[in-house]
Structure 1
Amino acid sequence: MLGQILINGVFLGGILASMAVGFSILWRVMGVVNVAHPVFCLLSSYIALTLLKNYGVDPLLSLALILPIYFALGCFIYVIFIQKLGGKDITSASMVLTFGLMLIVEKLIQATWGATEKSFLDVSYLMATLEWGGIFFSGDYTIGFILSILSLASVQIFLTRTFTGKAIRAAWQDIVASLLCGIDFNRISAITMGVSFALCAVGGICMTFVYSFYPSVHLNWLFYMFLITIVGGVGSIKGVLAAGVIIGLLVNLVNLLVPYQWITVIIFILLVGILLYKPTGLFQS
């Protein structure tokens, strides 16, 4: 039983990390705290479910279709909204702006799809189970985890092996020096936001492979995104993954000892302790 809980905790942690990584990178590069990030994760799930129900499009294929749309959406939101915040306290201003955006998208979701819970229970391979060594690997957790790890690996390769990725890293290390080197900060910021949105589409769909979803569930996700980003260190991909796994394991282990409604309280106490011990995060480089 303990082995099963640990495996599920690691898999859940990987999925949580894929949801939080775009949020973390955007915060590090631009100082933008996008509190609308989880509601866009949720929107991608509703779109994928609609394509499945109405047109028979497999969720994995839907994800491939949604990714470029979300990238373009992120670039658009940067140009129309975030770029206008330049010269102000962008962290506070972005929180206010994206909070309003979050409310708009949530109401749009509720008006379009209703308030009832949805799920991907009709997808056969998500309901499949493989038993190995006394541990059961369910399709929803396994596929969600694999996609999440692939997304994290892809963004790590992008940031370390491509010219644009290196420019993004240069911008988050020293904006002034990157400008002196000829890096177009507005272009880099637009790409960063596009990548952040594409990552949130992956994380959102993977999360809803595992759990049912409804219009306000993104508020729970927002709590975990902040927690993982702070524990892992803002902008640290490896830190986000490590923090996600820690949180995933804690959620599953604590659930053995206390009622589910106490999990958030206990994890919040953990967050306070970490902030007191190391405000920059456990894995911040």
Structure 2
Amino acid sequence: MPKIKDLEKIIDDCSSMSFESEISAWSYALIKASDILKAQAATYFSADSQRKFLTFETVIGPKSEELKGISFSYAGAAGWCALNKKAVLIKNTKENPLFTGKVDYASGYSTKSIMVFPCFCGETLSGIAEFINPLGKESFEEEDFSFAFSLIAYISKLVYSSKLELTLKELSARADSAVNNLSGGFIGLDTEENIIFFNPKAQEILSINSEIGKNLSSSRLPEELKSALIKTLKEKIQIKRAEFFLEPSKKRIGYSTINLKTVDGEINGAGVIFQDITSL
């Protein structure tokens, strides 16, 4: 099964790569697959499911530059694939009603055999990958179809995981920004009692550098804040309002604690918010 080896090689290569966008990932897959399949032509269309439009994004073959960016309403095998979100292998276009010559007319192709695949990001249709006319034989075969299907499925998962990772990074950056811009000090722990938040105001009030990455037990936090964080983390008890005097500065510190939660509401840490209230 030579194409299995090809698939494994592409997957191995992808594991060490990063793509700038969904289209760049699909374009990479299209180029690799068309080379292995020895396809005369191949296209990645982005899909607009709302308006039911396909747009030429990456084109390998005749008139590639002329076709790029052109949009058309769902039609032919690609349109059927987009509408039904199912892959299709057409060995002989003359004997299959799904095929239409409209795109051939625009592209200058003479399509004899075609494979079309839906490309997903999660459950959302990103686009359509299409392979046309294998060189050296009359039609694409089941092995060709299985190879391309597996590759498209893998890239779909890769695109989705990359998008999730980017979303998490953006959310994390927003959270960091919000924490860093608080008017008071904020320190947060994860469930293992490791410090994951330590904003600039906390450093200023406590007169110590950031303790991010340290375990609470080995940190330089005042014992009052350590105890408050542990109580909130272990006993799920939030302290609404408490005070202590910071040694040796004698600053009067007012603080309260909160449980940190995931988007699903599951508790995944504890935080303490505090201010210097000496002058109040």
Fold match (TM-score > 0.5): no
Query: Which one has the largest radius of gyration?
Result: 2
The structure where strand makes up a greater share of residues is 2
The structure where helix makes up a greater share of residues is 1
Tell me: higher relative CO, structure 1 or 2? Use CA pairs within 8 A at least 6 residues apart. Answer: 1
TM range (shorter): under 0.3
